[in-house]
Amino acid sequence: MKLLKDQLQIVGKECSELLEQQTKFENNRLQLFHVTQHYTNPRLINANNVYDAFYEDGIVHVILNNDKTEKFYFDEDQNVIDAFFKKGQREDLVFWFGGRFFNVAKKTNYEEHKLNRKTLEEIAEKIREKRFEIHALQDKIERIEFWEQYNLPFKFIADIKIALSGLSESSSGNGCKSNTVRHVVLQEDYVSGSLKRKTNQYLCSQQKGLYIPLYTDIKIEDIQHVITCKECLVRIEKYKKNNQ
């Protein structure tokens, strides 16, 4: 158990470090300047046809190769934009569309943006893997702690004794009834004093016969069923008192 908890702590720390890296890269991401067209229903233009662009009086003037000029309004801080765009610097800019937005960025910043984006995707994938590992460890620890509460000296599972005599009005259709209880079912031979049980026998009584699994494709030990058989609980308490 200690090894599992130590491993959980290590993986949790690794996940936290990845989250810090993710935040750092997100904070350093290129500010992409989104601009929208002057028209109520934006008309998309081919970014490859852009010849030049400059900023003036709160408007981006985009000059196309056919000498047609489109006017765009910025959604960003105008002071930042004013320093960013200057007439005649088309060779330093990259233009592209994303949804209804027309995006502009310096080429050097855009390449950095693409690299950061790729790194962010890699970090996000690692975070998903670590979180999956954390959940698996937490689930395993929870299951172990659940079964350890009974503190029995042998391997066991908790399951019902299936009624094979057909279905009655009170049956749930799966071998259970409304008053069905969960028994301790030994998963190994055990002998201690007057208690003698073989694998798949019930703790409460040898007369109950051998355990028959209801589902063969499910690991019963992974299901946290609380033991409710009164006789099984009496024997568990008796064992605990004798070993205090």
Q: Per-residue pLDDT tens for 84-101? A: 555 445 556 666 555 555
113 and 186 in a common domain: no
| Cα-based torsion angle of the residue sequence 234, 235, 236, 238 in order, rounded to the nearest 10 degrees | 90
Question: What's the whole-model pTM score?
Answer: 0.50
What parts of the chain have a pLDDT lower than 50? Answer: 32-44, 75-77, 79-81, 87-88
pLDDT in tens, 36-45: 444 333 444 5
Residues 119 and 3 in one domain: yes
| CB atoms near residue 229 (< 10 Å) | 22
- State the Cα–Cα distance between residues 19 and 2, nearest whole angstrom: 26
Do 71 and 16 lie in one domain? The reply is yes
Final residue in a domain of this structure, among 98, 120, 147? 147
Structural domain boundaries enclosing 43: 1-147
| Alpha carbons 182 and 93: distance in angstroms, whole number | 71
Give yes or no: residues 218 and 185 share one domain.
yes
- Same structural domain, 87 and 2: yes
Residues 80 and 173 occupy one common structural domain:
no
Q: Which of 147, 175, 210 is the last residue of a domain?
A: 147
Shared domain for 169 and 130, answered yes or no, is no
Q: Based on the structure, what is the number of domains in the chain? A: 2
Residue 139 confidence (pLDDT): 82
